[in-house]
A and B are shown apart, each in its own frame.
Chain A
Amino acid sequence: MGDIKDILGVPRDGLPPAAKSKKSKAPKLVKPKGMSRQGTGGWAAWPRWEAFALLSGSHPLMPSQLMGDIRKKEGVAGLKEKARRDPRGVVTFQWRKFRNPARGDDLELEHWVKCYRDARGRVTPADAGEYSFAKFNKKPPIMRYNDEEYKSLIKKEAGWSREETDYLLDMAARYELRFVAIADRYEFPGAPERSIEDLKARYYSVARQLLVGREGGPESVANNTLVRHPFNPQHEQKRKRGLELLMQRSREQDEAENEILQRAAQIEAKRKAEAAARRAAAGPSAAAAPGSQGPAAPAAREVTEFTNEEAPGVPPLFDEEAQPKEPEKGAVARGAAARELVEAVAAKQLGKAAKALEGALQEIKMDAFPRCTTRAVCGAYISLQKEVIELLELKRSVQAKQHLLAGMKRAKREEDVDETPRSEKRQRMGK
C-alpha cells in the first residue's frame, strides 16, 4: 500500500513530497564529457550514448500498457498453439554419412541431417529417400549402335571412320551434347580439323538414321525434331558469320546506316505530303473559282449558300448543322429562335474551347448576332459558328500532333546521344 503511494508520488502520512525528494530521487548520474545528443564524436559516440541512456534512471523500462490487452486472446492462445507438438516429434540434427547416387564412384561423405525424435525415442530424417540433389543429374539420351546397326543403318560418310564416329559419340555422351566443349577437346589422331558444324552434322545424321532405322520407316517419326528439321551446316555457318559481322560493325558504319535510313524516311514523308495535298486539291474544290487560288495554296472548300426563298416543303428554321428544321409551334419568331440556338451551341463548348470560340468570332468581327435576321442571314450565321468550331477543333488536334511528334523526336535524339550497349561491348573488346 505504501509502495503504491510512493510510486504515485503521493506524500505518505501527509509529509510534503519535498522532504522525501532527496531520498527518492535517483542519484544524478554525471554525464561524461562530450555525451550530448548532438554533435559529439559523431558515429563513434553513438553506442556510448545509447548505452548510457540505458543506465540512467530517466528512461525506466516499462511494460507495454496496451499491447497485452490487445493481444490478450492471441497472446496466450498463440503460445499454446506454438507449443502444440509436431506429430513427428522433436526436431534434432544428426551428423550422418551419405552417398550420392548421381556419382559414378562409391564416395561416402558426412553431413548434418534434420531429424525428428518421436516419443519412443527413434529418430527419422526429415527427407527420407535418396540424396535430394541426385535427381538433377540429367543426361541427354545418346543413341548408340552395335556393329550390325552400323553396317545396315549408318551410311558411310566421307572422312568419317567407324572409330572416329565412336569417338564422337563417346565425347557426346561424356560432355552431354555440349558441342562447344566437345569441339574444344576433340582430338582424334589422323582426323582433320573438325568445326562445330562438322561434328554436329555427323552426330545428327547418325542419330536420325538410327532413329528412322529402328522405327522401321520415316512416317512414324515424322514429327520428331531430328527428322522434321535436319541439321543444316551451311545455314548455321551463315548465321554465325552474320552475328559476327554485326558484332564487329564499327560505330561509323552504324551512323552511316542510320543517316541513310533517315534520308529515306524524309523522302517518303515528302512523297506522302505531296500525295495528300494533291488528293485534297483534287477532291472537294473541283468547282472552286479558277483564278482566286494560286497553284501553291491548298484549295479551300466551297461555302454553302442560303436564300430567303421559302421553298415549299422546306421548313423555315435551322438546326445546329444549318439544316432546315420545323418550328415547334405554327408561328415563331425566327430571329429569336436562331439566337437561342447559337447561344446554346456556344454554351456547349467547354472551358478553353468556349474562350477560343469567342476569341475567334471576335477576330473575324462576327461575335455579335446579325441585326437583320432573314432566313439567309440566320442560316449563314449558324453555319459560320459551326465552321468556326470545327476549325478550332482541327487546329487543336494539329497542335496536339505537333507536340507528340516533337516529343518523339526529342526522345529519339536523346537515345542517339547516349552510348548504346553495343558500343560498350566494343570498348570492352578493345576495339
Chain B
Amino acid sequence: MAAAAAPDEDKYVLGKQGEKRMKGRTITVPVVTGTCAFYLGKKASEYQSHKWTVYMRSPSNEDLSHVLKKVTFGLHESFQNPKRDVEFPPYELTETGWGEFDIVVTLHFREDIQEAPVELYHRLKLYDDTGAANPKKPVVLEIYDEVVFWQPTEAFFSRMATHTARPAPPSQLAQFYTAFAPDSEYQRIQRARQRLAQIRANVEGTAAALEAQEAAGMYVGA
C-alpha cells in the first residue's frame, strides 16, 4: 500500500481541545433507565407509600464502567440531598416516597472520552395502569435508549476496539428486568410502512383518474 501523504486527514478530525477524534465514526452504547416500585402495603403511610429503586443498566447486562465514570440520579427537591452519585455498578438508588416525578439520570463519562455528561429523563412510575397496588408485584418501567458517540476520541475508540464485554455485577432487581426486541419492533414498523405504501398507490391511482376526468371535462365544456 502506497504511503499516503497525510493518512491522518482521512481518519481523524481535531476536537475542541485539540484532541484527535475518529472522523465519521460512531460508537453506540445501549442503556436502559428503569424504576422498580414496591407498594408498602400495611407499612405504607401517607408520605411513604412506596419503596422504589431507580437504576441504570445495559440491556445486555454488560458492565459499563469502561464508559461511565459515575451516574448521578437527580431526585425531586423534596428529597434530602436530591443529587445522588453512584460510582460503581450496579448504578442503583433506592428511596421511599409517595409521589411520581421525573428523575434526571446523568451519565458522566470517563476522562478520555472527553464528552459532557448526558442527561436521561425517567418518570418514576408508582401506580399500575389498573390502579391496583400489590406489595409483592412491583411496578416496573424500563426505558431503552442508546448513547451515541459521534466522532469519538482516538483513545476511546481504540479502547473499545480491544474491549471485551464483561457481565455487570448482579442486582437484586434482575428478576424484574424487561426484555427488549428491537428487531421485531423494526419489522412491525416496516410492515406498517408497506401497508401505507399500498394505500398510497391506490390513492395515486384515483388521483390520476381524476386528472384525466378534469382534463376531459374542460374539453367538453369549451
The chain A residues found within 8 Å of chain B, CB to CB, are 261-262, 265-266, 268-273, 276-277, 280, 297-303, 305-306, 308, 310, 312-317, 326-327, 329-336, 364-366, 370-377, 380-381, 383-384, 387-388, 390-391, 394-395, 397-398, 401-402, 404-405, 408-409, 412
Nearest chain A CB to B109 CB, angstrom units: 7
Given A276-B209, A380-B193, A384-B189, A398 contacting B26 (CB threshold 8 A): no
Nearest chain A CB to B10 CB, angstrom units: 10
Other-chain residue from B115, B121, B206 in contact with A398 (beta carbon distance below 8 A):
B206
Closest to B145 in A: A335
The chain B residues found within 8 Å of chain A, CB to CB, are 15, 23-28, 30, 109, 113-116, 118, 120-121, 143-152, 180-182, 185-186, 189-190, 192-217, 219-221
Interface of B is mostly: helix
Chain B residues in 8 Å Cβ range of A271: 212
Chain A residues in 8 Å Cβ range of B182: 308, 372, 374, 376-377
Query: B118–A333 contact, CB under 8 A?
Result: yes
Nearest chain B CB to A53 CB, angstrom units: 62
Chain B residues in 8 Å Cβ range of A405: 210, 213-214, 217
Chain B residues in 8 Å Cβ range of A268: 212, 215-216, 219
Closest to B22 in A: A312
Query: A377–B207 contact, CB under 8 A?
Result: no
Chain B residues in 8 Å Cβ range of A306: 186
Query: A374–B203 contact, CB under 8 A?
Result: no
Which of B25, B209, B216 has the most chain A CB within a 10 Å cutoff? B216
Chain A residues in 8 Å Cβ range of B118: 331-333
Query: B115–A329 contact, CB under 8 A?
Result: yes
13 example contacts (A-B, Cβ-Cβ < 8 A) are as follows: A271-B212, A273-B208, A277-B205, A280-B204, A298-B205, A301-B200, A303-B190, A326-B150, A327-B150, A336-B145, A391-B200, A394-B203, A412-B221
Q: How far is the CA of A327 from the CA of B27 in the complex (A)?
A: 13
Other-chain residue from B202, B212, B221 in contact with A273 (beta carbon distance below 8 A):
B212
Query: A371–B221 contact, CB under 8 A?
Result: no
Nearest chain B CB to A258 CB, angstrom units: 8
Chain B residues in 8 Å Cβ range of A310: 25-28
Other-chain residue from B15, B147, B206 in contact with A332 (beta carbon distance below 8 A):
B147
Query: A330–B152 contact, CB under 8 A?
Result: yes
Other-chain residue from A261, A394, A409 in contact with B204 (beta carbon distance below 8 A):
A394
Closest to A276 in B: B208
Query: A371–B151 contact, CB under 8 A?
Result: no
Query: B192–A384 contact, CB under 8 A?
Result: yes
Q: How far is the CA of A305 from the CA of B190 in the complex (A)?
A: 8
Query: A377–B208 contact, CB under 8 A?
Result: no
Query: A394–B202 contact, CB under 8 A?
Result: no
Query: B146–A331 contact, CB under 8 A?
Result: no
Closest to B184 in A: A372
Nearest chain A CB to B74 CB, angstrom units: 15
Q: How far is the CA of A252 from the CA of B9 in the complex (A)?
A: 85
Known pairs A276-B208, A377-B189 / 18 extra A-B pairs, C-beta < 8 Å: A261-B220, A265-B216, A276-B209, A280-B201, A297-B198, A308-B28, A316-B150, A326-B150, A330-B115, A331-B150, A333-B145, A334-B146, A371-B144, A371-B180, A372-B185, A380-B189, A384-B189, A398-B207
